[in-house]
Amino acid sequence: MIAFARSQVGKRYVRGGEGPGGFDCSGFTRRAYARAGLRLPHSSGAQARRARTITRSQARPGDLVVGPGHVGIYMGRGMMIDAGNHRTGVVYRKLYRGLRVARL
Catalytic one of 24, 42, 63, 70:
70
For 35, residues 6+ apart whose C-beta sits below 8 A from its C-beta are: 1, 4
Q: Is 63 a catalytic residue?
A: no
70 is catalytic: yes
Specify whether the CB–CB gap between 92 and 5 falls below 8 A. no
Are 74 and 64 a contacting pair, CB within 8 Å? yes
Backbone angles phi, psi at 34, to 5 degrees: -60, -30
Instruction: For residue 24, indicate whether it is catalytic.
Output: no
Query: With contact defined as beta carbons under 8 Å apart, do 62 and 36 qualify?
Result: yes
Which of 25, 42, 63, 86 is labelled catalytic?
25
Catalytic residue, chosen from 42, 63, 82, 86, is 82
Tell me which residues are annotated as active site. 25, 70, 82
